[in-house]
Every structure is written in C-alpha cells, then in structure tokens.
Amino acid sequence: MDLKVFTQSVLQHQSRLFRVAKLFLKNTEEAEDTVQEIFLKLWDKRQQLGAYNSVEALAVQMTKNLCLDKLKSHDYNYTSTGLETIEVNANTYTPHEQTELADSNDLLKKIIDDLPELQKTILHLRDVEEYSFEEIEQITGQTINNIRVILSRARKSVRDSYLKTNNYVSGN
Amino acid sequence: MYQEIEKLLEKYYEGETTLQEEKYIKEFFSKAEVPTHLQHHIAEFAYYRHAAKETPSKNLNEVLLSKIEKKGRIIQFRTVSLRIAAGLALLIGGFAVGYAYNNRGGEITIIESKPETVMKQSLQFEQVSLKSASERIEAVNQSLKLKALDQDLTQLLINTLNFDDNVNVRLAAAQALARFEDEPLVREGLIQSLKIQTDPNIQITLIELLVMMKEKRASQTLEQLSQDGNVMDVVRMKAQEGAAQLITL
C-alpha cells in the first residue's frame, strides 16, 4: 500500500476518527493528536491492512481503544475545549432560537458525555456517523441485537434527560 | 397527519429504524414547520446533524502526510545507514580476517624464510626417506635465498650431492653448491664428489662446474676420470678436455 492508496482508503476517514476521539477526550487538540497517532499506527501496519474487512472500522476501533487507554492513564487531565460556536442554519431559525439551540447543543453534548461508554459509542456511531449496524458490530464487537438494545436505551436516555432539564419545551 | 413521523419516532427510540428512516427523521426536524407537540425533539436531531459536521482543523491532513513522509524518510535513512553499517562491518571484518590470515601467513613465511630450517628438515639423512624428491629439490633450492652457507649446510648439500637416491636432487645440490664456489669446503666437496659419482649427468655437470671455477686441484681427479675404464666415453672425453683446460691456466 503506497501513500496514495493509504491516503484514499485511510486518511479520508480522519473527520470521523476525529469526532470519535473527541467524543471520548472532549478536547480538540488531544483528539487531533490521537487521530495522528492512529494514522501513524495504521501507516506502520499498512502491509497488513488488506487482511481487514473494513479499514475504516478498524481505524474507529483503534481510535476508541486508544482514547479509552488515554482516559485510563492517570496523567490524563485534559480539560474540555469548552463552548464552541455552533453553526445553525440561520435561514431557518431566529437569533433567539439559534441561541436556544446552541444552549441545547451544549446540554445534549453533556447528556451524551454522561452516558455509559458503550451507549455513548453506539449512539455516536449511529446517530452522528450514521454507520450501519453491521459496521457498528465490527467496531464494537457487540451483536446487532445487543446494539439495537443499547442504542434504544441511549436514545431514550438522551430524550428523557433533555426533557427533564428543559421541561418548559414540552410545556410550550 | 403526523402519524407517520410519530410512528417513526417510536421505532427510533426502540432502535428499530433504518438509516434511511433516520435520515428522514433528521430531515423532518430540521425544517421550520415542526408541529408543536413534536418540537421537543428538534434539539436532539439538530445536535446529531451539528455534531456530524465537526471536522478537525484543516491542516491535520498536511501534518499527517508530512509526518508519514518524515517517517518514510527516517525508515529509508535507517535502512540506508543500516546498509552502510553492514558494509562497514563487512569491510572491517574482511580486514580483520585478512590481517589474521596475513599474520598466520607471516608465521609460515618466517618458517619459510629460514631456508636453513627447511633444508635441514628435508635433507637430513633421517628425513630424506620421508620427503619426496621434489620436496628435497625444493629444500635444496632454499639455499638460493642464502647469501652464505655455514658449515652444517654445506655438509648437508654435499651429502645430498653424494648420497641422494634421486639424480635430479643430486644435480640440484651440485648447482646449489656451485653458487658458493668461493667456499673452500664447497670446492673440496665437489672434487671429492666427482670421485665417487657414477651417474654421467652428474659427472659432466661437476666437471663443467670445476672447470668454470678454475679449480686446479681438480685436474688430477679429472685425469684419473678420463682414464677410468668404467666411466662412459663421453664423460672421459669431457674430463680430458677439462683437465687440459685447467692445466693450461
């Protein structure tokens, strides 16, 4: 596998890997560093990559594992990047609604962060990255039935937590 | 009217929707006209759509590529330096082997450079039977490396000349001794040898050598030889000729 093929088959997933890394590490720089580490690891084993069904699934799995390792290590003490400007389609919402949505984005981010690891991973892979159940199966090693159960639990949990915090929305 | 989306939402929360259906749901909640009773779902799906747009800083790709290239270069450099190191190792190894070999060879040369030793080893009476004729000739020829013969070696060569079984070895000894014609012992040895030699080749060689050395003391031996009935005619003629030459000197 030369650099060109590697770029096409592996580097194109960098945004996804970055989001997965950030999901766990909550820090943009650290997530970027992690993605680079993953790519260098993949580059080192580029000769064996052909043996994998999906290099993308492998990369996501490696990213997730590396992040969890980093979180486990005692000296990991990165603070989250904090509030970020949120792009919302300005044509659809009034400024007030945009602010409200930005607030809800932060809230949802926090709610998802607080989910158990597996729920968080599967919810992110499905609802943000839009992976198929087969792909999620490859990445997490869970059976598809399990994935559906965990996903359902995660989605309900997010919905309920959000409603609970934003009680007024449902009251509207 | 909204039964479809409500049903889909129900499926969604059970983890039963397809990707297609989930896309439809996200699409639905991104529009402005979401019915009031469903508006509390907007934020969720807006968040997922928003989160999916998050990308690393644009230079990540460049950084990655440059890191990979750098790594490639390092690996290349590593292999190049490895090759150089291996080459050097071979070179040094070669020199070491050569040096060791030369040293060993040097010891052999030292042994060989002592012709006396070789000669004694090969020509001494008790050794003669163990060495081949060519080895003995080789040993005799070691004397070519010497500038002078000591008494032992002279005697050794004379013995070889007189008693070696092989004519060629005896001839070689005669030639070797002739180089040291200034040595009285050599001259004496050659004269005495002529008296006892029976091979015509040796006899003729000795006669020629003695004449060449202008060894007058040999004239008597030559005359005796020329009158010896057991000696070949050609040798007798040569002896007579030599005797005449020596007398006229």
Mutate to test the interface with A, among B50, B58, B71, B78 (most CBs of A within 10 A): B50
Q: What is the Cα–Cα distance from B39 to A38, expressed in whole angstroms?
A: 40
Instruction: Output the 3-class SS for B49-90.
Output: HHHHCCCCCCCHHHHHHHHHHHHHHHHHHHHHHHHHHHHHHH
Mutate to test the interface with B, among A6, A22, A24, A39 (most CBs of B within 10 A): A39
**Whole-angstrom Cα Rg for chain A:** 18
Do B175 and B192 reside in the same domain of the chain?
no
Q: How is domain A3-72 classified at the architecture level of CATH?
A: Orthogonal Bundle (1.10)
Question: What backbone phi and psi angles, to 5 degrees, belong to B130?
Answer: -85, -15
Judge whether B21 and B12 are in contact, CB under 8 Å: yes
Say whether pLDDT at B110 is over 60: no
Name the domain count of chain B.
4
The highest-confidence range among A41-55, A149-163, B108-122, B202-216, by mean pLDDT, is: A149-163
pLDDT tens digit sequence for B132-167: 888 888 888 888 888 887 888 888 888 888 888 888
A-chain CB neighbours of B14 within 8 Å are 148, 152
Note the ipTM here.
0.78
Spans of all domains in chain A: 3-72, 95-171
Six-digit token string for A78: 């990165």
Do B158 and B211 reside in the same domain of the chain?
no
- Smallest Cβ–Cβ distance between A108 and the set B12, B32, B43 belongs to B43
Q: What residues contact residue B101 under an 8 Å CB cut-off, 6+ apart?
A: none
B43 interface with A at CB cutoff 8 Å: yes
pLDDT tens series, chain A, 172 aa: 677 777 777 778 888 899 999 988 888 888 998 998 898 888 888 888 878 878 888 899 999 999 988 888 756 555 554 444 444 444 455 666 667 666 788 889 889 988 999 999 999 999 999 999 999 998 899 999 999 999 999 999 999 998 888 764 444 4
B30 interface with A at CB cutoff 8 Å: yes
Number of helices followed by number of strands (H, E) in chain A: 9, 0
User: Which DSSP string corresponds to B133-177?
Assistant: HHHHHHHHHGGGG-S---HHHHHHHHHHHHH-S-HHHHHHHHHHH
pLDDT tens digit sequence for B188-201: 888 888 888 888 88
Q: What is the Cα–Cα distance from A109 to A161, expressed in whole angstroms?
A: 11
Q: How is domain A95-171 classified at the architecture level of CATH?
A: Orthogonal Bundle (1.10)
Q: How many CA atoms lie within 13 A of B68 on its CB side?
A: 24
**Percent with pLDDT over 70 in chain B:** 92
Q: What is the Cα–Cα distance from B44 to B50, expressed in whole angstroms?
A: 10
Chain B nearest CA to A39, separation (Å)? 7
What's CA B135's distance to the chain center, in Å? Answer: 26
Q: Does the CA dihedral A137-A139-A141-A142 come out positive or negative? A: negative
Cβ-defined contact of B40 to A163 (cutoff 8 Å): yes
Asked which of B68, B94, B113 is the last residue of a domain, the reply is B113
Judge whether A105 and A155 are in contact, CB under 8 Å: no
Q: What is the Cα–Cα distance from A112 to A121, expressed in whole angstroms?
A: 9
CA-nearest residue to B75 within chain A is A44
**Amino acid sitting at position B215:** E
pLDDT of residue A75: 60
What is the pTM for the complete model shown?
0.53
CA-nearest residue to B63 within chain A is A36
Do B63 and B108 reside in the same domain of the chain?
yes
Chain A nearest CA to B110, separation (Å)? 59
Cβ atoms within 10 Å of B142's Cβ, excluding its own: 22
A-chain CB neighbours of B30 within 8 Å are 89, 92
Determine the structural domain holding residue B194 and report its residue range: 181-249
